[in-house]
Amino acid sequence: MAPEELTLEQTREADNTGVMAVADAHRFDEAALADWMTKHVEGYAGPVEVRQFKGGQSNPTYQLVTPRKNYVLRRKPPGKLLPSAHAVDREFKVISALFPTGFPVPKPFGLCEDDGVIGTAFYVMDMVEGRVLWDQSLPDYAPAERHALHMAAVRTLAALHNTDYRAVGLEDFGRPGNYMMRQINRWTKQYKASETQHLDTMESLIDWLPKSAPADDETAIVHADYRLDNMVMHPTEPRVVAVLDWELSTLGNPLADFTYVLMQWVNGTISTIPDLKAHGIPTMEEYIAEYCALTGRSEIADLNWFFAYNAFRLAGICQGIVGRIRDGTAKSSQASAMEERVPLLAQSAWEFARKAGA
């Protein structure tokens, strides 16, 4: 990650931390919400005060403050949406399945698929208090704390991948097998639907990735956007108390999920740290070894292919955000930065593809 992108990361933290008054475009009938909660959320007692989290550009996210406890509401955004995007019903389904197992997710309280209540589908869950760590390099922590926090994250991801999706009722949460090909197709379609500039590197990747995909015979629950800023850490302990933002989750290849996390070591914030051991963050080799030990693997093969795939996927995600801004369904102070990231990610992906034999 280049120095100017570190500034972007700091901007992301400022843009996404805390609450604000509800944006005009995301206002809804608060009385209708209170009536729905009275009928569907066990233990709810109003009145309710609605605030909007600064983050949640994809699915607007709100803090619901009541005299006895606070809740979080996530909803589909209003307006034109990409096919299969903003699936709050799927988010609710996966956290509802995982919560009884003890896996760290917020307690789910209710899903509303009736657009007539607040204008779009939404769900309500518990608000989990703790630390959201935006900068993956953890500049405000001592080396031992940095190490413990990152190892807590990888152990939690391993626990997710070790969860028997059939036993928790998620056998219909996705299609077992062929995940990589379906993902390549999905992000190709999203990229093309949102395309604002022609990139030879993306065209080359769209051609090469399906032809070179490794064996894809594993199936697990995958989060698909797993990183420190999508979880809540315990206020004082190096322990994950809630994994958030399950919008992209499905049944899929756990190695795609895990190698996405490793991107921080190859072209993210962590890759800029000259001496990881002194800094306290585990090396990529140590991180891989811990994951392998917990999931019963001897190694992670085809790393360069997975790095190419993940950079390509990130390019598709960024281009999708650019397209939503273009179509008026998202507003972001980082719009131009997002558009600039796409060719950089595409170039990085193609360089990994070349290392993998393209």
Cβ atoms within 10 A of the Cβ of 24, count?
6
Query: pLDDT value at position 15?
Result: 53
pLDDT in tens, 325-352: 777 665 566 666 788 899 999 999 999 9
For the chain, domain boundaries: 21-126, 143-355
Integer Cα distance of 205 and 184 in angstroms: 10
Per the listing, tokens 């360089």 go with 351
Q: Residue 281 above 60 pLDDT?
A: yes
Which stretches within the chain are classed as H helix?
A: 3-16, 30-40, 88-98, 115-118, 143-162, 179-194, 200-212, 254-267, 276-279, 284-295, 303-327, 335-355
- The CATH code that applies to domain 21-126 is 3.30.200.20
Query: pLDDT value at position 16?
Result: 57
Q: Which amino acid is at 282?
A: P
More confident residue, 307 or 24: 307
- Mean pLDDT for 56-85 is 79
The pTM of the full predicted model, rounded to 2 decimals, is: 0.88
Integer Cα distance of 249 and 226 in angstroms: 10
pLDDT in tens, 100-126: 999 999 999 999 999 999 999 999 999
Residue 50, helix vs strand vs coil: strand
- Mean pLDDT for 182-199 is 92
Q: Residue 273 above 80 pLDDT?
A: yes
Per the listing, tokens 């292919």 go with 305
Q: Is 2 buried (19+), middle (13-18) or exposed (0-12) by CB count in 10 A?
A: exposed
Query: pLDDT value at position 56?
Result: 52
Query: pLDDT value at position 84?
Result: 54
Q: Is 9 buried (19+), middle (13-18) or exposed (0-12) by CB count in 10 A?
A: middle
Query: pLDDT value at position 140?
Result: 94
Integer Cα distance of 210 and 309 in angstroms: 10
Query: Residue 32 CA to chain centroid, in angstroms?
Result: 30
* H/E segment holding residue 60: none
Query: pLDDT value at position 5?
Result: 44
| Same-fold call for 21-126 versus 143-355 | no
Cβ atoms within 10 A of the Cβ of 33, count?
22
- 335-355 vs 200-212: helix axis angle to the nearest 10? 50
Q: Residue 259 above 50 pLDDT?
A: yes
Q: Residue 221 above 80 pLDDT?
A: yes
Residue 331, helix vs strand vs coil: coil
143-355 topology per CATH? Aminoglycoside 3'-phosphotransferase; Chain: A, domain 2 (3.90.1200)
Q: Residue 173 above 90 pLDDT?
A: yes
